[in-house]
Amino acid sequence: MRRALTRPFAISRGVRTHADTLVVTLVDAAGRCGRGEAVPYARLSESMDDPLSALAALPETLPDDLDFADIAALSRLKSLRTALDCALHDLRARQEGRAVWQRLSLPRPKATMTASTISLDTPEAMAAQAAEQAGQPLLKIKLGGPDGAEGDLARLAAVRRAAPRARLIVDANEGWAVRDLKPLLEACADHGVEMVEQPLPAGEDAALAEMKRPVPVIADEAVHDVHDLPHIAGLYDGVNVKLDKAGGLTPALALARAARDEGLSVMIGCMLASSLAMAPAFLLAPFAQWVDLDGPLWIAEDEEPRMRIESGIISPPSAALWGRADAPDAAATGQAEGP
């Protein structure tokens, strides 16, 4: 599905005007439906044609007892696995009359703060974006501009001037050079930035081991699932957990738990996608120091009923969207264990 964006979205790797998302629906014999949405991740060399071709090659009828552990064997593609995993969670909730958070022994979802993204642009344009969102509690600044450290220092200062009271986090999307890392991290600290995502290209981040980090550095592109955690030991202070990188809610939950057990900070992030993709990711918020699920705000025509995001606060999805049983009181019953 091609979803137009409300405005161009720019990061260090380029500019996007639309989001291509894969939506999978699983239907059981009783007509109950489970849905899941994912984004083919170019960073994993996936395009929309890949999961569509793989989906067409699957049997039209899957086993009634399909298990989450079986999904990884159905395809190597993370996008298809993510959509199938999330659709199966939705379907099982509707079949069993229990919400996904109950089935997974997670805390009952509640409204939480989400970052609001400032797209990469000139310092002046980013200051204008920040001024428009100055009332938002948490701003995420995209850096890694083509003009190098000098340009990013100007962007950072401009955003801080425009939003002096907002909490700030930075995402460089692998766009910084090792030689610029020290002054850029120091400038982030000076401007009160709480953390920096993936400043160096994944695989070129050994310099982090020998560098004092005045703000926490979070791995994004360097960590996809739990198997990547040993490779970042000593390099990063936390991980950005995304369902599309991990292959669905099931492996993303495993990553969040493992990262926490390793003493790493956790961020819950997203791709440019609709509320249908945010709903399962929202369940991981209790693990996170930072939640970044503002993707639907960039989508011109979001799924309905959409997730409500107002003044930087995102609320739980409705039963009609994803992950909750159809019974009106299903989400209010039962006790859940902590994460």
pLDDT digits (tens, 9 = 90+) for 182-209: 999 999 999 999 999 999 999 899 999 9
What DSSP state is assigned to residue 231?
G
Summarised one tens digit per residue, pLDDT across range 206-230 is 999 989 999 999 999 999 999 999 9
User: If pLDDT is split at 50, 70 and 90, which confidence band does 325 have?
Assistant: confident
Q: What mean pLDDT do residues 74-81 have?
A: 96
**Domains annotated on the chain, with CATH:** 1-339 (3.20.20.120)
Alpha helices in 100-139 (DSSP H): 100-103, 123-132
Can 140 be counted among the known catalytic residues?
no
Tell whether the model's pLDDT for residue 336 goes beyond 50.
no
CA angle, 88 as apex, 69 and 57 as ends, to 5°?
80
**Within a 10 A sphere around the Cβ of 149, how many other Cβ atoms?**
18
> Looking at 78, 110, 140, 142, which residue is catalytic?
142
Q: What is the mean pLDDT of residues 109-132?
A: 98
* pLDDT tens figures, 24-72: 999 999 999 999 999 998 888 899 999 999 999 999 899 999 999 999 9
Q: Catalytic annotation on 182?
A: no
